[in-house]
Amino acid sequence: TAGRDMAVRVYDEATRRLTHTLTEGYTGVTAGHSNRIFSVKFHPDDSNMVLSAGWDKSVQIWDLRAGHSVRSIFGAQVCGDGMDVHGNLVATASYRPSEDNLQLWDFRSTELLKNIKWCSETDEKKEDGLQRSLLYSCSFSPDGKQIVAGGAHDNCVKVFDVANDLVLGSIGPLPGSVFDVAFAPSGSYIAVGSADRTIRVYETIF
């Protein structure tokens, strides 16, 4: 769990007891969080590694064995469930109307790998600017080949091919801001939660 007190807490599922409280960085290397945390995930391949992201424009990578943050990614303005990890890739969705709102990072080196372009060249020419999405959420597909993301302003959801940055599908605009998106474990469906208090489930066809 994580939230406004800037601490990440890990609990034992069997005993319901708190096992770790993570707040500090490693002196001279990392600093922990300095503002509200909105997203927290275990690394799917290593249960000792936890990632968290929030308002301080950082992703902290925690090692439960060390008890502190061991690496930091800087630059992502996460304001919802806008961080996910698959293998050596970390995806971040930022609440900002720019071309760097959906990004891929290297888990080990923390370097930025690329920006995934949200809007097409045709969309960029629109005068109303609705193509500029303020992203709240992103999620990898189970095989890591796609990313789904969504947010406010244009109230849209898009699925991208990770390797080629291609838009495989688009949903919206929906009646309200998109607060959360997630693939089903099978990869066959995408769930979308929005501000109109509705969860919609879509079948993937790619």
The pLDDT of residue 97: 84
| Beta strands, E only, the chain | 8-11, 18-22, 37-43, 46-54, 58-63, 68-74, 83-86, 89-93, 102-106, 112-115, 134-140, 146-152, 157-161, 167-171, 178-183, 189-194, 198-203
CB-neighbour burial class of residue 153 (10 A; exposed 0-12, middle 13-18, buried 19+):
middle
The pLDDT of residue 129: 47
The type of residue at 114 is K
* Residue 150 pLDDT class (50, 70, 90 cuts): very high
Q: Is the pTM of this model over 0.95?
A: no
Count helices and strands (H / E) in the chain: 1, 17
Summarize pLDDT for 100-112 with one digit per residue, the tens. Answer: 899 999 999 999 9
Mean pLDDT confidence for 178-200: 96
The pLDDT of residue 126: 52
Give me the residues paired with residue 152 across strands: 134
Summarize pLDDT for 6-54 with one digit per residue, the tens. Answer: 999 999 999 999 999 999 988 777 889 999 999 999 999 999 999 999 9
